[in-house]
Chain A
Amino acid sequence: MAVTEMDEIKQAMALEAKVAPKGERPKDVHPVSKATAKQRAARIRELRRQKAPADKNQELPIDEGYSKTFLRVTVAVSVFLFAITLAGVLGINSMFDNSRKQVVSNFTVQVLPLSDASESREDLLKIVNFLEKYPDVEQVTVLSDAELKALLQPWLGANVDIEMLPIPKLLDVKIRNGKNFDYRELTVRLSEISAQASINDHNLWLSRLLKFINSLKMLAVTVLVLVAGGCVASIVYAAKTGLNVHRDIISILHIMGATDEYIAVNYVKQISQMSAVAGIVGAILSVPAILIIGHMAEGIEAGIFNSVTFGMEEWVMILLLPFVSAALVAVTAYVTVVKTLRHMV
């Protein structure tokens, strides 16, 4: 829609008429200016063409300086710590999922021989019976002498009669629910049946590692909660101090008719924009740190675990953190501001 010069003049004249209806209007009714309507219309037209600087969301300013810097650093550091911890948890998860699938579906039990051969056989039978009835055990296979012989040959030589040696018997146990299998319980129960039987170390060690890793994950979650808590606390603090510093501005906004919500939204827009930026910085800084730690972990993992598979999904989760944190900041700031404003004019 084209605005003609004539429209503008009419508008300017209408504005004057609004304040001072024709006829009633004294000659110098205009408060400060004696410019004619036509001149003013030209001026208005020129002004409309200028671009307005866009600072309209800064009604409640968040001061540059200590508190703003503090908040930025807090958010950046929080996101950084969050990212690394999250990467750690995700990494452990993927690493462990791989190794668990592979190792935990079977384990071996070794049974030391007794001095008497028939007692030995009885003992072995008892153990096999016990294991076969044990929950989640699918199959128990006693390694035959021939198999044992084949296993031992490289060490003992071909001519040794295995029956003559106090060689332990080996049982291969297949289990169904490898993930939750309680080796410790089995160890205890097995020792009640026979003093000669022991579960293969490797699996027991793995089960302990599982427990250790689970507590490590709990620790990570605690760290995440603490970091988030610290972040929330700093935002509450920053918002409260900010509002107190700007009591006068808030009072003006209120008197102009602003609702608490209006002021809160104004503040939250600024603070969450700011923390999204700080969060992105924190997330970007975490990427090389994660890569370095991942590289170091590869050394440990060799042999026991498969690999740390860190795919697209994990990276997306980490790079979403700044926005998650900005949302956390926004909610915290909004609630704090609305609560604080309730005590102000």
Chain B
Amino acid sequence: MVTEQFEPIVEMKNVALAYGDNPEVLKNINFSFRRGSIHFLTGKSGAGKTSLLSMLYLAQRPTAGTLKVFGNNVAMTDRDTLAFLRRRIGVVFQDFRLLEHLSVFDNVALPLRIRGMKEKEIRQRVIELLAWVELSHNMYVKSSEISGGEKQRVAIARAVINRPELLLADEPTGNVDSEIALKLMKLFAELNRLGTTVVIATHSNELMQRYNYPRLVLADGNLSYLKDTLER
């Protein structure tokens, strides 16, 4: 089990990312996320947090360098294999990105349906999780018709329903009051304790001060590592 502890779940070597012909948003990034780790990813608005995460959830390929996710070199992996790798990743988008035309239930069920799980089992799991995040009352309401905070909880439920190995949360507490924010943070902490590797992008100093997780800071396209919030 010791070897598994140090198994890198994501490896970045000299990774860079540019959009089109624009200058690189991310430059020469070298970092590995170890299985079971939890990190904050921080930096000013526009620093490239979302861009970095989008490479990790395999929506963007690095324009330079090598990115390995679950040991697979992303540049050499075919479309279908990428799809199967993505099923092991849970994503909470900064802007939720729910399927607005579907109900809360169907949004949360989506990752399970994509996996081809039986409808009966899906129902069981989704109902449990929705009860747990207190969304049962709006289970069959269209997700375009619920509040921002509720959307955030749907987004989180959708990200964790699959029990992902890697959870990438982009400003997961940006749209809820501080009370809910702290509760969501506790959920992430618990998932991490159960073995999920977690990366939380945020620029909330309050959050980072409260949870003394190692921090990755993006500035001018470079990534630096702060082991401890208090070192700053």
Interface residues of A (CB under 8 A from B): 11-12, 15-16, 18-21, 24-26, 28-33, 35, 40, 43-44, 47-48, 52-53, 55-56, 58-59, 61, 248-249, 251-260, 262, 342, 345
Contacts and interface: CB of A to CB of B under 8 A. Distances in A.
Contacts of B130: 47
B202 interface: no
17 contacts: A12-B128, A16-B132, A19-B187, A20-B193, A21-B193, A31-B132, A32-B153, A32-B180, A47-B136, A52-B123, A53-B140, A56-B109, A58-B101, A59-B106, A253-B110, A254-B59, A259-B79
Contacts of A260: 79-80, 83
Contacts of A345: 59-60
Interface string B101-143: 1110110011101110001000110011111111010011000
Contact of A249 (B79, B99, B105, B191): B99
A30 B114 contact: no
Contacts of B180: 31-32
B34 interface: no
Interface magnitude class on chain B: 35 or more
B166 to A, nearest CB: 12
B229 to A, nearest CB: 20
Given A33-B132, A257-B114, 5 more contacts: A32-B133, A52-B123, A59-B99, A253-B110, A345-B60
Interface in B185-215: 186-187, 190-191, 193-194
Given A56-B109, A249-B99, A258-B114, A48 B83 contact: no
Dominant SS at the B interface? Answer: helix
Interface of B: 57-60, 79-80, 83-89, 91, 97, 99, 101-103, 105-106, 109-111, 113-115, 119, 123-124, 127-134, 136, 139-140, 153, 158, 180, 183-184, 186-187, 190-191, 193-194
Given A53-B103, A345-B59, A31 B184 contact: yes
B109 A26 contact: no
A36 to B, nearest CB: 12
Contact of A19 (B105, B110, B115, B191): B191
